[in-house]
Amino acid sequence: MTTKEHPDGKVVEQSLPQGATSPAQSVDESRRRFGKSGLAAGGVIITLASRPVLGAWACQSPSGFQSGNVSSHGQPTTCMGRTPGYWGNKPEEWPLPYKAGTCVGDANYCNHPENWTTTNATLFRNKFNCSGGGSIYYNYTMFKVIWLGGGGDPDQLGAHIVSALLNAKMGWTSPVLTEQAVKDMFNDWASKGYYEPSAGIKWYGADIVTYLKTTMTL
């Protein structure tokens, strides 16, 4: 059983499909995979479990996540960020100054990326470093980056970075992941091919995505 928050503020229970995982299970699985990938080389093992509470669950800063360091005193910081799937289908909810663009044609199809022009749209290159590895996103708006898919967006790093930036602007990942922290994370990856949450620890594209997913509940 899981819970989902509706736009009217109500929270309802939903049964998960057979074989599906709950948000908490998903985060725990991400941490297990993470320990076997980028962090394994640094000898770091993640054992922290996160518990969902009304659409939010415990989350940490990048450095805290890679070290598994969390205080047992007081209430843990919770995140309630949205996924690329959410932001890709809710362009009208993007927080300013970020803009998806302008929808043209039938308003019933404004959740289709091909119906959005670059007019009034936020270009990815105006917010992030598009040299080096980031050059693949140079010609796209932030909205179009969300819809690139794995072929044009390896590991869907761009889609998750855009979503993380919007989540931070909404205050849904504060204080563990701010707008500037999201930009620094991507810009370091673009220039060096990896991001260092702390000295000597390297996160590559898939590792960054694994971490960002732990800040996204819906």
- Determine, yes or no, domain membership for 10: yes
Torsions phi, psi for 75 (to 5 deg): -85, 135
- Determine, yes or no, domain membership for 61: yes
- Determine, yes or no, domain membership for 218: no
- Determine, yes or no, domain membership for 199: yes
- Determine, yes or no, domain membership for 138: yes
Domain that holds residue 155: 2-213
59, 215 contact by CB (below 8 A):
yes
pTM: 0.72
The number of distinct structural domains making up the chain is: 1
Q: How far apart are CA 109 and CA 201, in angstroms?
A: 44
Q: How far apart are CA 78 and CA 148, in angstroms?
A: 29
The string of pLDDT tens digits covering residues 4-32 is 444 444 434 433 333 333 444 444 454 44
The string of pLDDT tens digits covering residues 41-82 is 433 333 333 334 444 567 888 877 765 554 445 567 889 999
Residue 82: how many other CB atoms lie within 10 Å: 22
